[in-house]
Homo-oligomer: A and B are copies of this chain.
Amino acid sequence: MRLLKVDTLDEAREKLLRATASKILQTETVHFTQSLGRVLADDLKSNENIPGFRKSTVDGYAVRAADTQGVTESIPVFLDVIEEVAIGSAPDKTVGPGQAVYVPTGGMLPEGADAMVMIEYCEKFDETSIAVYDAVSPGRNVISEGEDISRGQAFLKKGSRIRPQEVGVLSSAGVSRPEVFKPWKITIISTGDELVGADETPQKGQIRDINTYSVMASAMKHGFEIVDMKVLKDDEALLEAAVREAMETSDIVVASGGSSQGEKDHTADVMDRLSGGGVFTHGIALKPGKPTILGYDDKTETVMIGLPGHPAAALMVFELTAVWLYRQLTCQPEPKTTIAEITENVAAAGGRTTCLLVELEEQEPKDDVKRTGVCKAYPIFGKSGLMTTLTRADGYTMIDVNDEGLKEGQQIKVILF
């Protein structure tokens, strides 16, 4: 057994960032209707004001606000109606003192007018005039030109993940083909003589393969493109061939399994050999997830990760390394966390950062103090070989390597799955 220094999670991430600094992140344009969940590769600026005109938010009359000063429910002002604006059309006339123009919701205000009176406060007086029973201030019931997006404004930032509202804004601003990051191509390899497929019945000593599929699903969720998935017998030559092929086709190759010491050495050896000495992390001081290999091949720009064999550990480490790196390089903000109170004391793992799974329970608002109850976080203990610890979990919290643990009632930040 080789004795190699283990990195802290922060050290390992630092090395990942340094090693991959020269990796080129490719971009592409996609039609905005296909852009949900994608990540913007550049700030988006608008060449125009949105809306491009002053827009009414109500059905009613465009007026000069000054004309309505002093008006009350019993003392109306009488205004001449000089035009009716149709929705989608520009008005022809300018509103002068004592004049008004009908504008429907979403319609364009005419020149001269500076406010809208809701139709509920107006009464037809005769064929050409109305009585107005409400005093409005300038700007009332009006969206001004450029109020949503002003010309030149960066209205969406590089690294933003596109949600439904961003799809709407892309349409609004006329950005029909935004530039987004290309998904990273990933090859997922699992090794182990004990693995059989999901459709097979395992014999004694065998288990159905888990890691290939949970890592695949996590990769899909986080916007990677699955190039290949391979389940291999534990054989160094097979692994080498698979990693070599992946280096030609993929941005990142992850190999899980190798849970026994011999296999672990295979993975590190193969990756280090093929990358010309590019493996820089031989273990992370992380619970679960110690047997993690990190490397990078400069020539093919391939990120290489050896994941722990235990299923829960493999999935967590994939998210804490591969997904974390991709989010960093594509300038995505940290995922939002939620605050919860831990329900019991939890000891930290000596000398290791602990990734603690938790189940959340929302609390009823505490009415007496007008405070919502912070939700409870029940720690989920369990061997990292148990996948159901992860299906019970709503998220996880990180206990720092220097922390002595968590105290019952302490507030923690939970990263939701």
Contacts and interface: CB of A to CB of B under 8 A. Distances in A.
Interface stretch (A122-130, A205-213, A242-250, A344-352): A205-213
B169 A391 contact: yes
Interface string A385-417: 111101101100000000000010011110011
Contacts of A337: 338, 362, 375
Interface stretch (A12-20, A61-69, A85-93, A271-279): A85-93
A176 interface: yes
A202 interface: yes
Given A87-B193, A383-B57, A217 B315 contact: no
Contacts of A394: 336
Interface in A177-234: 192-195, 198-218, 220-221, 234
A194 B107 contact: yes
Tell me how many chains of this kind the complex includes.
2
Contacts of A209: 171
A22 interface: no
A98 interface: no
Interface string A17-43: 000000000000000110011000000
A230 B100 CA distance: 35
A202 B52 contact: yes
Contacts of A268: none
Interface stretch (A74-82, A158-166, A295-303, A324-332): A158-166
A51 B199 CA distance: 16
Contacts of A261: 59, 105, 119
Interface of A: 32-33, 36-37, 50-53, 55, 57, 59, 85-91, 104-108, 119, 143, 147-149, 155-156, 162-176, 192-195, 198-218, 220-221, 234, 259-262, 309-312, 315, 336-340, 360, 362, 365, 370-372, 374-375, 383, 385-388, 390-391, 393-394, 407, 410-413, 416-417
Which 5 A-B residue pairs are closest in the complex by CB-CB distance?
A168-B214, A88-B194, A165-B390, A338-B338, A164-B217
22 contacts: A33-B213, A52-B204, A53-B204, A55-B207, A57-B385, A88-B195, A91-B205, A106-B194, A106-B260, A107-B194, A148-B385, A163-B221, A166-B391, A168-B217, A168-B311, A168-B387, A170-B198, A172-B311, A174-B208, A336-B362, A339-B339, A372-B413
